[in-house]
């Protein structure tokens, strides 16, 4: 039996980004003793990178806005693949979640009459994004962080211990969700600083670990985005949904190489920035797809007028949903009309006075000045697509954020799937975190309270197995008795290259098949990933453990992408370029194959996984029809573009 | 001085829990240059101004009065026609009349937020430069006597206002010739003009001034005029250091110019 | 694209001791110090401990001291150094070291917890908050803080005097007090909490001798000293040392400063 520290909590939240912190606040306020566990320091989560804003139809800038319009935009952006009930809840509850932040001290930019200012963004019909300059994510994290501190101060006053009812375990990693039968019983964790193992016993676990971007080479995501929550859910028996949909943000930095992928906020375009190719042409006018034809300007003049007079003009096509813009940039570069470093030009310098640029886009000004030595008030930026967000994720129930088939396991934020369909609109991510973070926290707390005394027990064998699994990199052996073990950094780089090249923005059947082979090979080698040194803050070891998660998630993406023979949103098949109405109703669910389900490490010398079958089983599931009152928010002419005949007349 | 004694070995950056690094700083630039230059500049001014303040001579050359001696508040002052002679202090004052008035600008500058930084760094090495360990075993900052008196800065600011007003008056008087006829200008007038502009700019760029003008308000939107003034003072305040130095130099130069005229070493070139 | 070999000295060790270790490592065009540290990890020192996260100057994780100066490693371009120069990277020297470039920054989290939170105005419902942009500008500047703790690291009050850590909140958290005191709707005063008084009495504002190192290191360019600390000192003077203000508020029975 492994000797380690155990603590009892009601709810354990894995991840301290927007969703995790919002869940923790809600769970604690619902009376649950709540632990938050995160890989970074408290307040450093990837949410800080979100720049543009929080989408919420408060109607402060354009009073025509309401939740129905927001819902429509979200469904259109997601090409109607969204879990519609989530999109509905999201649109309805987002304003309350934003206003609530103000009562916790958030300071958004203001309108003239003192309300929260809202800005335009791709795919949103009205100015809708509550923002703070271009550092909205930071404001969100800081506000939630400070709310947690205030709850802790309350506890200190009342019971003398600030961490009595809400504690943050920072720089700790969860490697396994522990189960008692079907039900969640806790989480197996290690402290990054010391390498010490510990177990948090809890009947409810909320996964809020964010995304998977670190499986790709060019990404805007931080090192934390290794798909931990996705893998934890898979390993605990919960399925993932529609993992083929990966959003490539159209505008990431392309130069210098060390910052390649870092995000250039969409606000640059929302505030007037335009995309040009090497011939100086605003090429986006050539890439407006049929489904959006009526909504976007046909001439530069009309597009330019829209910034001043949005009621009588149509928006410029630079503000199309992200998938469209990313594909267009990709096509321009392929056609040889790219910029010197393989991107296109994003220009604000000729569109706004330098002063305005510095005021409205301060961090972008800063970022280019410091990292690329480019003055965006004087010259154009070079930008190209970067892996940004995964629309797919853990399958959840819309109302409760509960995962499917694992009582006590919840998921919220980027790690959860469904809400954004096949493509997420900018600004919908932060609101998603708040709306479903809160719901997950609430329902996890209720679930935990409902168990009363009958809590699931922690299984000692699972703890032993998890400990052995976590320690394996220290005793890894090479393929031959004397050969050195694999370097986890090398494996990681190869994985990123594979996913980037073979399952990237434009996909082909043969390449994805090749990717699956390569992944199988990497899986075998990852078992031999070894590290030097000891357990104290050892990044090599941490990476070796994260590889398991990245490989699982990458396989889900590749397998689902191979299966879905159409192009939709964040999934573009060169060999199947059309969006098929038949596919709209199909969700792809990934589950762990039974063989790989077996808890614990694979014995040394065990046969390599079957490269064809791999670790993931894929299943198709037909979605529930969209509720009639929601369908009636759309014009019939629009619906026929997305929905199959029979859905229209149901 | 800045590069003096080494810091104590058992506290601060060499404490037991900190990363074991022997040197007090790993900075590779000439970090000692700034505090050394500051200390040098301040020392030079102190020496010069002490000499001039105690000399009690050569401070008036019609129509110019040295800013060190204005207003001149004792009976032993040189008579200055139309000038700032106010015999508030009677004949009992036997020392240099400069000492009576200089305490106000001295106190203003001594408690000034910029000069505090300058001399804490330059003279007291607390710290000598950023990320360079200081040589003191104990540090209590401005929490106790005497440094807690730095909080009186705003009173010196209030006091500095009339002084600046009088220097303005002196500058107006400088538009006379040596026979007190109005409408003339010489090189001295220009020196005085530059000096008074810098004195005002320095005085108004004061952090206490910025606070009093508007910084203390919670809702700027309810006080639009004060908000605009606050913005103006804020702009000046960004250059507080620059103004502190230039006005220090200009006031010394103005005095020195008067000294040259009064001692006969130089004749004021007249423009008209 | 040009490549060269740079000489690096990186502090390695833990609480029990350690030393600067020499490395020669490849550098490519456009790289930052953090890239080089990562290259060391991947090629020469797999267990080199370093904290980092966003690699874009937005999260404030990769704080370290480069050639003796507190910096974010991700925002320090290699091109600012001479190619012949040896670049020294150490952990933050004001905090207890954990391992290699990682320090224990719990001091900052403890201090964060000592600053009373925003007090919502009673009777104003969520959604009813009205604030003018010019009234939130000041606090917004302070909320740009990414909590890299470089200001806390460089501040000699605690860097050079461990014993002051109990009494002194450090620039970051004094700035937090200023932020809340300037928040147009904070109702601390109504709830009996005087942030100006506590800034000096409980958070150690008097320790600050405004030598501005915090402002110098701030990667967000926040004017910590001029816009937060000095105004806070002036506000403390209002409360504690200004009889005119005291008298004025008595006579007018209305606190001008909170309007």
| Nearest one of B110, B115, B129 to B36, comparing CA atoms | B129
DSSP E strands, A121-213: 129-130, 166-170, 172-180, 183-191, 197-201, 204-207
In eight-state DSSP terms, residue B39 is H
Is C36 at the interface with chain A, CB within 8 A? no
pLDDT tens for residues A316-336? 999 998 888 999 999 999 899
DSSP string, C109-172: HHHHHHS----PPTT--TT-----HHHHHHHHHHHT-----HHHHH-HHHHS-GGGGTT---HH
Question: Is A37 in contact with A169 (CB distance < 8 Å)?
Answer: yes
CA atoms of B76 and B92, how far apart (whole Å): 9
| Of A12-21, A132-141, A612-621, highest mean pLDDT | A12-21
| Residues of C whose CB is below 8 A from A133 | 140
Q: Which residues pair with C58 in a beta bridge?
A: none
Judge whether C3-103 and C106-258 match in fold: no
CA atoms of C190 and C232, how far apart (whole Å): 19
- Count how many residues are written for chain B: 272
pLDDT tens for residues C111-130? 999 999 999 999 999 999 99
Which of B2, B131, B149, B209 best probes binding to C when mutated, by most C CB atoms within 10 angstroms? B131
Residues of A belonging to the active site: 322
Model pLDDT, residue A594: 64
CA atoms of A280 and A269, how far apart (whole Å): 16
Q: Which CATH class is domain C3-103?
A: alpha beta
Model pLDDT, residue B82: 84
pLDDT tens for residues A86-97? 999 999 999 999
Please indicate whether, in this complex, the C-beta atoms of B141 and C207 are within 8 angstroms of each other.
Answer: yes
Which of A258, A434, A487 best probes binding to C when mutated, by most C CB atoms within 10 angstroms? A258
CA atoms of B106 and B249, how far apart (whole Å): 14
Model pLDDT, residue A612: 57
Q: Which domains does chain A have, with CATH numbers?
A: 251-387 (3.90.700.10)
- For the segment A449-474, the average pLDDT, to the nearest whole number, is 92
Please indicate whether, in this complex, the C-beta atoms of C11 and B133 are within 8 angstroms of each other.
Answer: no
- Count how many residues are written for chain A: 650
Residue in the block written with tokens 């470039």: C101
pLDDT tens for residues A110-158? 999 999 999 998 899 999 999 998 899 999 999 999 999 999 999 999 9
- Each of the 272 residues of chain B gets a pLDDT tens digit; together they read 334 445 455 779 999 999 999 999 999 999 999 999 999 999 999 999 999 999 999 999 989 999 999 999 888 888 888 888 888 887 888 889 999 999 999 999 999 999 999 999 999 999 999 999 999 999 999 999 999 999 999 999 999 999 999 999 999 999 999 899 999 999 999 999 999 999 999 999 999 999 999 999 999 999 999 999 999 999 999 999 999 999 999 999 999 999 999 999 999 999 98
Lowest mean pLDDT among A227-231, A467-471, A592-596, C145-149: A592-596
Please indicate whether, in this complex, the C-beta atoms of A110 and C59 are within 8 angstroms of each other.
Answer: no
Token pair listed for A282: 């605003």
Share of chain A above pLDDT 90, in %: 81
| Residues of A whose CB is below 8 A from C52 | 223
Could you tell me the pLDDT band of residue A360, with boundaries at 50, 70 and 90? confident
| Residues of C whose CB is below 8 A from A224 | 53
ipTM attached to this prediction: 0.94
Residue A603 has pLDDT above 60, yes or no: no
- Sheet of A344-347, strands arranged across: A246-253, A381-390, A344-347, A274-276
What's the pTM? 0.93
Is C42 at the interface with chain A, CB within 8 A? yes
CA atoms of A39 and A170, how far apart (whole Å): 6
| Residues of C whose CB is below 8 A from A149 | 112-113, 117
Interface contacts A/C by beta carbons within 8 Å: 175
Question: Is A26 in contact with A410 (CB distance < 8 Å)?
Answer: no
Smallest CA–CA distance, residue C138 to chain B, in Å, is 10
Smallest CA–CA distance, residue C68 to chain B, in Å, is 4
pLDDT tens for residues C15-32? 999 999 999 999 998 899
CA C120 to chain centre: 25
Residue C259 has pLDDT above 60, yes or no: no
Question: Is A317 in contact with A297 (CB distance < 8 Å)?
Answer: yes
CA atoms of C70 and C80, how far apart (whole Å): 15
Token pair listed for A218: 């060019």
DSSP E strands, chain B: 60-61, 64-65
Token pair listed for B15: 């404490």
CA A580 to chain centre: 25
Is C113 at the interface with chain A, CB within 8 A? yes
| Residues of C whose CB is below 8 A from A544 | none
- For the segment A536-559, the average pLDDT, to the nearest whole number, is 94
Please indicate whether, in this complex, the C-beta atoms of C52 and A534 are within 8 angstroms of each other.
Answer: no
Chains touching chain B, criterion 3+ CB pairs below 8 Å: C
Model pLDDT, residue C257: 46
Is C50 at the interface with chain A, CB within 8 A? yes
Model pLDDT, residue C249: 67
- Inter-residue long-range contacts of B77-85, CB under 8 Å, 24+ positions, other chains counted: B81/B180, B82/B173, B82/B176, B82/B180, B83/B170, B83/B173, B84/B166, B84/B169, B84/B170
Model pLDDT, residue A117: 97
Intra-chain end-to-end CA distance of chain B, in Å: 49
Token pair listed for A213: 């971007």
Lowest mean pLDDT among A275-284, A363-372, C181-190: A363-372
Please indicate whether, in this complex, the C-beta atoms of A44 and C30 are within 8 angstroms of each other.
Answer: no
Model pLDDT, residue B188: 96
Q: Which residues pair with C14 in a beta bridge?
A: C17, C99
Q: Give the residue from chain A lying closest to C136, CA to CA.
A: A107
Provide CB contacts within 8 A for C6, sequence distance 6+.
C24, C25, C26, C27, C36, C78, C81, C83, C87
Please indicate whether, in this complex, the C-beta atoms of B131 and C241 are within 8 angstroms of each other.
Answer: no
Please indicate whether, in this complex, the C-beta atoms of C210 and B220 are within 8 angstroms of each other.
Answer: no
Please indicate whether, in this complex, the C-beta atoms of C67 and B116 are within 8 angstroms of each other.
Answer: no
Q: Which among A102, A372, A373 has the least Cβ separation from residue C129?
A: A102
CA atoms of A95 and A92, how far apart (whole Å): 7
Model pLDDT, residue A308: 87
| Nearest one of C153, C54, C34, C115 to A135, comparing CA atoms | C54
Token pair listed for B70: 């204005």
Domain boundaries, chain C: 3-103, 106-258
pLDDT tens for residues A47-63? 999 988 999 999 999 99
Please indicate whether, in this complex, the C-beta atoms of B217 and C257 are within 8 angstroms of each other.
Answer: yes
pLDDT tens for residues C176-208? 999 999 999 999 999 999 999 999 999 999 999
Intra-chain end-to-end CA distance of chain A, in Å: 58
Smallest CA–CA distance, residue C59 to chain B, in Å, is 22
Instruction: Give the Å distances, CA to CA, from A546 to A310, A370, A551.
Output: 47, 31, 9
3-class secondary-structure state, position A593: coil
Please indicate whether, in this complex, the C-beta atoms of C117 and A99 are within 8 angstroms of each other.
Answer: no
Model pLDDT, residue A371: 86
| Residues of C whose CB is below 8 A from B126 | 156, 209, 211
Q: Which among A44, A162, A531 has the least Cβ separation from residue C59?
A: A44
In eight-state DSSP terms, residue A196 is -
Intra-chain end-to-end CA distance of chain C, in Å: 59
Chains touching chain C, criterion 3+ CB pairs below 8 Å: A, B
The 10 Å Cβ neighbour count of residue A646 is 9
Q: Which among A49, A146, A373 has the least Cβ separation from residue C117?
A: A146
Model pLDDT, residue C1: 57
pLDDT tens for residues A190-236? 999 999 999 999 999 999 999 999 999 999 998 899 999 999 999 99
- For the segment A554-571, the average pLDDT, to the nearest whole number, is 96
Share of chain A above pLDDT 70, in %: 96
Q: Which among A48, A142, A539 has the least Cβ separation from residue C49?
A: A539
Instruction: Give the Å distances, CA to CA, from A127 to A68, A424, A539, A633.
Output: 15, 17, 43, 20
| Residues of A whose CB is below 8 A from C129 | 99, 102-103
Could you tell me the pLDDT band of residue A428, with boundaries at 50, 70 and 90? very high
DSSP E strands, A82-211: 118-119, 129-130, 166-170, 172-180, 183-191, 197-201, 204-207
- For the segment A161-185, the average pLDDT, to the nearest whole number, is 96
**Dihedral sign from CA coordinates of C62, C66, C70, C72:** negative
Q: Which fold has domain C106-258?
A: Fumarate Reductase Iron-sulfur Protein; Chain B, domain 2 (1.10.1060)
Is B24 at the interface with chain C, CB within 8 A? no
Q: Which among B19, B132, B227 has the least Cβ separation from residue C18?
A: B19
Could you tell me the pLDDT band of residue A617, with boundaries at 50, 70 and 90? very high
Instruction: Give the Å distances, CA to CA, from B69 to A52, A398, B73, B102, B196.
Output: 60, 82, 9, 8, 15
Provide CB contacts within 8 A for C125, sequence distance 6+.
none
Residues 63..82 of C with a Cβ closer than 8 Å to A: which?
75, 77, 79
| Residues of C whose CB is below 8 A from B143 | 204, 206-207
Provide CB contacts within 8 A for C257, sequence distance 6+.
B216, B217, B218, C235, C238, C249
| Residues of C whose CB is below 8 A from A102 | 126, 129
Residue A289 has pLDDT above 80, yes or no: yes
- Sheet of A166-170, strands arranged across: A166-170, A34-38, A11-14, A204-207, A409-411
CA A82 to chain centre: 15
CA atoms of A26 and A165, how far apart (whole Å): 12
Query: What is the per-residue burial (b if ≥16 Cβ within 10 Å, else e) of A237-270?
Result: bbbbbbbbbbbbbbbbbbbbebbbbbbbbbbbbb
| Residues of B whose CB is below 8 A from C208 | 141-142
CA atoms of A460 and A612, how far apart (whole Å): 34
Smallest CA–CA distance, residue A242 to chain C, in Å, is 27
Please indicate whether, in this complex, the C-beta atoms of C14 and A138 are within 8 angstroms of each other.
Answer: no
pLDDT tens for residues B144-175? 999 999 999 999 999 999 999 999 999 999 99
**DSSP alpha helices (H): ranges in A472-576?**
488-502, 509-526, 539-563
3-class secondary-structure state, position C26: strand
Q: Which among B116, B121, B141 has the least Cβ separation from residue C157?
A: B141
Please indicate whether, in this complex, the C-beta atoms of B11 and C163 are within 8 angstroms of each other.
Answer: yes
Residues 38..97 of B with a Cβ closer than 8 Å to C: which?
none
Is A372 at the interface with chain C, CB within 8 A? yes
Pairing of strands A129-130, A118-119: antiparallel
CA atoms of B137 and C221, how far apart (whole Å): 31
Question: Is A23 in contact with A416 (CB distance < 8 Å)?
Answer: no
Residues 122..161 of B with a Cβ closer than 8 Å to C: which?
126-127, 130-134, 136, 138-144, 147-148, 151-154
């Amino acid at each position: 039996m492994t000797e380690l520290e155990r603590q009892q909590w009601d709810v354990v939240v894995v991840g301290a980004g927007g969703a995790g912190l919002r869940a923790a606040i809600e769970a604690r306020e619902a009376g649950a003793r709540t632990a938050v566990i995160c890989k970074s320091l408290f307040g450093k989560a990837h949410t800080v990178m979100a720049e543009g804003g929080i989408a919420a139809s408060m109607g402060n800038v354009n009073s025509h806005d309401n939740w129905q319009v927001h819902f429509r935009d979200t469904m259109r952006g997601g090409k109607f693949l969204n879990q519609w009930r989530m999109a509905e809840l999201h649109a309805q509850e987002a304003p309350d979640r934003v206003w609530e932040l103000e009562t916790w001290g958030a300071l958004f930019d203001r309108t003239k009459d003192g309300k929260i200012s809202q800005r335009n963004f791709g795919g949103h019909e009205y100015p809708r994004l509550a923002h703070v300059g271009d550092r909205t994510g930071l404001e969100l994290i800081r506000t939630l962080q400070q709310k947690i501190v205030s709850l802790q101060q309350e506890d200190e006053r009342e019971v003398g211990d600030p961490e009595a009812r809400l504690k943050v375990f920072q720089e700790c990693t969860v490697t396994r969700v522990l189960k008692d039968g079907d039900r969640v019983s806790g989480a197996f964790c290690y402290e990054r600083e010391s390498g010490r193992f510990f177990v948090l016993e809890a009947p409810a676990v909320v996964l809020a670990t964010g995304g998977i971007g670190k499986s790709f080479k060019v990404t805007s995501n931080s090192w934390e985005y290794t798909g931990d929550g996705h893998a934890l859910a898979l390993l605990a028996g919960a399925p993932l949904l529609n993992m083929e949909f990966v959003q490539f943000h159209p505008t990431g930095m392309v130069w210098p190489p060390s910052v390649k992928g870092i995000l250039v906020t969409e606000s640059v375009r929302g505030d007037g920035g335009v995309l040009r190719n090497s011939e100086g042409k605003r090429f986006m006018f050539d890439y407006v797809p049929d489904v959006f034809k009526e909504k976007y300007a046909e001439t530069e003049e009309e597009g330019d007028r829209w910034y001043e007079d949005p009621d009588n003009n149509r928006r410029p096509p630079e503000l199309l949903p992200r998938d469209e813009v990313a594909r267009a940039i990709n096509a321009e570069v392929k056609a040889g009309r790219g910029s010197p470093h393989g991107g296109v030009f994003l220009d604000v310098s000729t569109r706004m006075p330098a002063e305005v640029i510095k005021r409205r886009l301060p961090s972008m000004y800063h970022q280019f000045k410091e990292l690329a030595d480019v003055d965006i008030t004087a010259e154009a930026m070079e930008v190209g697509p970067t892996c940004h967000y995964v629309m797919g994720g853990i399958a959840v129930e819309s109302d409760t954020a509960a995962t499917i088939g694992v009582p006590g396991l919840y998921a919220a934020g980027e790690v959860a799937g469904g809400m954004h369909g096949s493509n997420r609109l900018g600004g919908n991510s932060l609101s998603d975190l708040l709306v479903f973070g809160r719901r997950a926290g609430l329902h996890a707390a209720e679930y935990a309270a409902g168990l009363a005394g009958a809590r699931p027990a922690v299984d000692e064998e699972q703890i032993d197995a998890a400990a052995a699994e976590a320690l394996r990199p220290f005793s890894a052996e090479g393929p031959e008795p004397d050969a050195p073990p694999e370097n986890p950094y090398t494996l990681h780089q190869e994985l990123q290259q594979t996913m980037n090249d073979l399952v990237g923005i434009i996909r082909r059947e043969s390449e994805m098949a090749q990717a699956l082979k390569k992944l199988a090979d990497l899986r075998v080698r990852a078992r031999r990933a070894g590290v030097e040194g000891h357990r104290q803050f050892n990044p090599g070891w941490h990476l070796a453990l994260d590889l398991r998660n990245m490989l699982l998630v990458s396989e889900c993406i590749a397998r689902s992408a191979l299966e879905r023979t159409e192009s939709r949103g964040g999934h573009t098949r060169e060999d199947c370029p059309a969006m098929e109405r038949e596919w709209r109703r199909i969700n792809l669910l990934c589950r762990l194959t039974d063989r790989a389900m077996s808890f614990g490490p694979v014995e040394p010398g065990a046969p390599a996984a079957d490269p064809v079958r791999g670790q993931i089983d894929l299943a198709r599931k037909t979605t529930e029809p969209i509720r009639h009152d929601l369908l009636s928010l759309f014009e019939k002419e629009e619906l026929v573009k997305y929905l199959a005949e029979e859905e229209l007349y149901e | 001085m800045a590069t003096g004694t080494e810091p104590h070995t058992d506290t601060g950056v060499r404490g037991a829990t900190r990363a074991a690094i022997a040197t007090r700083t790993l900075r590779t630039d000439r970090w000692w240059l700034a505090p050394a230059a500051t200390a040098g500049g301040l020392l030079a001014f102190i020496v010069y101004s002490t000499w001039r303040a105690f000399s009690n001579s050569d401070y008036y050359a019609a129509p110019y009065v040295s800013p060190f001696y204005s207003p001149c508040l004792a009976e032993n002052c040189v008579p200055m026609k139309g000038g700032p002679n106010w015999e508030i202090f009677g004949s009992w004052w036997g020392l240099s009349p400069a000492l009576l008035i200089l305490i106000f600008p001295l106190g203003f500058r001594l408690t000034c937020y910029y000069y505090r930084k300058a001399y804490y760094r330059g003279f007291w090495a607390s710290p000598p430069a950023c990320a360079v360990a200081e040589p003191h075993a104990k540090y209590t900052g401005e929490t106790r006597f005497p440094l807690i008196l730095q909080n009186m800065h705003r009173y010196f600011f209030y006091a500095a206002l009339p002084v600046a007003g009088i220097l303005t008056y002196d500058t107006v008087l400088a538009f006379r010739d040596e026979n007190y006829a109005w409408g003339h200008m010489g090189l001295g007038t220009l020196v005085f003009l530059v000096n008074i502009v810098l004195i005002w700019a320095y005085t108004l760029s004061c952090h206490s001034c910025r606070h009093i003008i508007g910084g203390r308000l919670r809702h700027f939107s309810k006080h639009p005029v004060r908000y605009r003034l606050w913005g103006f003072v804020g702009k000046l305040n960004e250059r507080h250091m620059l103004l502190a130095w230039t006005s220090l130099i200009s006031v010394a130069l103005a005095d020195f110019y008067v000294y040259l005229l009064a001692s006969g070493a130089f004749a004021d070139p007249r423009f008209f | 694209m040009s490549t060269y070999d740079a000489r690096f000295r990186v502090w390695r060790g833990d609480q029990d001791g350690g030393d600067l270790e020499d490395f020669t490592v490849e550098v490519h065009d456009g790289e930052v110090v953090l890239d080089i540290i990562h290259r060391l990890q991947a090629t020469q020192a797999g267990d080199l401990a370093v904290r980092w996260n966003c690699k874009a100057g937005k999260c404030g994780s990769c704080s370290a001291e480069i050639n003796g100066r507190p910096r974010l490693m991700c925002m320090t371009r290699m091109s600012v150094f001479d190619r012949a120069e040896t670049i020294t990277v150490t952990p933050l020297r004001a905090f207890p070291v954990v391992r290699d470039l990682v320090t224990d920054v719990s001091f900052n989290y403890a201090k964060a917890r000592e600053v009373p939170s925003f007090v919502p105005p009673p009777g104003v419902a969520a959604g009813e908050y009205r604030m003018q942009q010019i009234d939130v500008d000041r606090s917004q500047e302070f909320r740009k803080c990414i909590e890299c703790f470089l200001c806390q690291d460089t501040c000699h009050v605690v860097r050079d005097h461990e014993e002051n850590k109990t009494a002194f909140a450090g620039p970051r958290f004094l700035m937090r007090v200023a932020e809340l005191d300037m928040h147009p709707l904070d109702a601390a005063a109504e709830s009996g909490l005087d942030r100006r008084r506590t800034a000096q009495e409980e958070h150690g504002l008097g320790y600050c001798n405004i030598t501005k190192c915090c402002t110098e290191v701030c990667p967000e360019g926040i004017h910590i000293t001029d816009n937060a600390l000095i105004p806070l000192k002036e506000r403390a003077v209002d409360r504690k040392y200004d009889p005119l203000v005291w008298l004025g508020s008595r006579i007018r029975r209305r606190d001008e400063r909170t309007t």
